[in-house]
Amino acid sequence: MNITVNGEPKETSPNNSILNLLNELEINAQTVVVECDNTIIKQEEYATTILQDGAVLELIRFVGGG
């Protein structure tokens, strides 16, 4: 199925969770803020939120240093 990640079209397997997608993209789930279809997803819901076909995601990644 097709989703959009940060404005780019992407293909992913059906019934994929947000956590799986982050793992596929090699993104640390601890240091990213995920918006899915205009909703900010709580971290504890990454594993249980299943992506729907056509989902639009914004991933904001954070790096250390301050």
Partner 1 sequence: MKICIHEREEEWPATTTMTEVAANFPGADILLVNGHHVKHDYKLQPGDECWCLSRGGTSSKQEMEDLLALRHTPEIQRIIQTSTVGIMGLGGLGSMVAVALARMGIGRLLLADFDVVEPTNLNRQYFFLDQVGSPKTKAMAANLARINPFVELELLQQRLDAAAIKKHFSKVDVLVECFDDPVMKADAFRLALTDMKPIRYVGASGVAGYGSNNDIRTQSPYPGIYLVGDGHSDPKQGLSLMAARVGIAAHQQANQVVRILLKDSENAL
Under the rule (CB under 8 A), what is the footprint of partner 1? 28, 30-33, 35, 40, 42-43, 58, 60-66
Q: How far is the CB of 25 from partner 1 (least distance, A)?
A: 15
Let me know the angle formed at the C-alpha of 13 by 10 and 35, rounded to the nearest 5 degrees: 55
| Nearer residue to partner 1 within complex by CB, 14 or 38 | 38
Q: How far is the CB of 47 from partner 1 (least distance, A)?
A: 16
CB of 56 to partner 1, least distance (A): 14
Which tokens in the block code for residue 66? 């301050």
d(CA 53, CA 31): 25
